[in-house]
Amino acid sequence: MRLTCEQLNPHACKTYLLGIEGSNEVAFIDPVIDHINDYGKLVKKRHLRVSKIIETHTHADHISGAASLKDVFDCDYVMHLQAPAICANFRVSDNMQWLFLGMIPVKILHTPGHTRDSISLQFPDCIFTGDALFLDDGGAGRDDLPGGDPAAHWETLNKLYQLPDRLVVYPAHDYRNRKPSSLKQQKETNPHMKKSRESRQAFVQYLEDLKLGPAEWMKDVLKANYACARDPRAAWIPADSPACEVKGTIDPGTNEIQVATITSPILMQKISSGSPPVLIDVREKEELSGPLGHIDNIMHIPVAGLVKKIPELERYKNHDIVTICRSGSRAHTAAQILTKAGFPKVSVLADGMMAWNSTGH
């Protein structure tokens, strides 16, 4: 008997449909209210029987579809004991184990930090981590909303670190099309996971340094989910905001800013021209000495610390600036942050160091 897993949503909030081969029984993890009609159609078309809906935590970036789906399918709605949502009827706690679908066992891990009620679901070959752990350089969910606790998150990440390497990690969000990958990979590449190996104090300081600004609207979304809202308009939510990630804390409007790109050959020409642009590499420190290397004479400012460094960058305000990362995503964010801060001539190295290397530099 094998567990099957399908991700249903077209955007960064992930909803998983879990099933077992040879049975029509299924469970939803973290359904989003905007898609409940699609979920309903899918269930009908495939003649599925929904036995449970699980929320990994109270979400702050979208209205949950769990209450509405429970109304339709009359199934169990599973949340942690401490979850405020009164409509959750099946409460779980740390280390609880039960046969989840058919004979497939699950173990509940209480994994607070992002929220007080966060749980992860550990299956024999995979783990659903909610916002306790994202993939690769995505780190993990932010801890600065009501109920968030960086010290608890440190303990959570240490707890996850003890689990088998082979488990495939399925997070509740991914903002850059990363594919689920092993816990081993997270131990090696995920900055939150790596930082959790240091002291609790160092980890808390690391998160403190990442904090880029408020996201007041998320408090309204939390309240709507505490109240088991069944209306997608129960709270205002900005379109396509990578809200639960650290990037989601940047000033409102930053994500919409258009920025220019520059190709590797053109950048090479400019560097050789005698008046090179200011190069800001926004990757993590370890990446600079990794296989992709780095360009000579860069300034190194990881993207999460960029806002704090803006006063130091004022003297370059009227220079050409090029932001650089591995593939262009973080550099794009960095260029948006600088442009929002009034730097007029910022561009992004297109496709980052991957392109720089593949063009022979």
State the minimum distance, in angstroms, from the CB of residue 35 to Fe ion.
Answer: 17
Nearer to Fe ion, 19 or 141 (CB): 141
CB-nearer residue toward Fe ion: 112 or 141: 141
Instruction: Determine the residue with CB nearest Fe ion.
Output: 131
What DSSP string describes 89-139? -EEE-TT-EEEEETTEEEEEEE--SSSTT-EEEE-SSEEEEETS--SGGG-
Q: Which of 244, 279, 331, 338 binds Fe ion (CB under 5 A)?
A: 244
The helix (H) or strand (E) run that includes residue 4 is: strand 3-7
Q: How far apart are CA 289 and CA 291, in angstroms?
A: 7
Nearer to Fe ion, 3 or 244 (CB): 244
Strand pairing class (25-29; 16-20): antiparallel
- Candidate residues 55, 131, 137, 351; the one interacting with Fe ion per rule CB under 5 A: 131
Contact mark string toward Fe ion, 52..91, x via CB under 5 A: -------x--------------------------------
One character per residue 137-176, x = contact with Fe ion (rule: CB under 5 A): ----x-----------------------------------
Q: Which is nearer to Fe ion, 160 or 244 (CB)?
A: 244
For residue 39, count CB atoms less than 10 angstroms from its CB and return exposed for 0-12, middle for 13-18, buried for 19 or more.
buried
Sign, Cα dihedral of 46, 12, 65, 154: positive
Query: Could you please report the per-residue DSSP string of 267-334?
Result: HHHHHHTSSPPEEEE-S-HHHHTSTT---TT-EE--GGGHHHHHHHHGGGTTS-EEEE-SSSHHHHHH
The two structure tokens encoding residue 324: 């650089």
Judged by CB, which is closer to Fe ion: 131, or 136? 131
Nearest-approach distance from CB 80 to Fe ion, in angstroms = 13
Nearer to Fe ion, 32 or 350 (CB): 32
Which of 39, 101, 23 lies closest to 72 in space, CA to CA? 39
Stretch that binds Fe ion, among 5-13, 16-24, 80-88, 125-133 (CB under 5 A): 125-133
User: Which of these, 174, 240, 249, lies nearest to 212 by C-alpha position?
Assistant: 249
Q: Between 30 and 287, name the residue whose CB sits nearer to Fe ion.
A: 30
Work out how close the CB of 46 gets to Fe ion at its nearest, in angstroms, rounded to a whole number.
28
- In angstroms, the CA 301 to CA 347 distance is 16
Residue 117 structure tokens: 């009620």
Please state the closest distance from residue 116 (CB atom) to Fe ion, in A.
12
Site string for Fe ion, 203-242 (x = CB under 5 A): ----------------------------------------
Which is closer to Fe ion, CB of 59 or CB of 340? 59
**Residue among 84, 117, 119 nearest 224 (CA):** 84
CB of 61 to Fe ion, least distance (A): 6
CA-CA distance, 232 to 217, in Å (whole number)? 14
Taking the complex as a whole, the smallest distance from the CB of residue 29 to Fe ion amounts, in Å, to 13
Per CB under 5 A, residues contacting Fe ion are: 59, 131, 141, 244
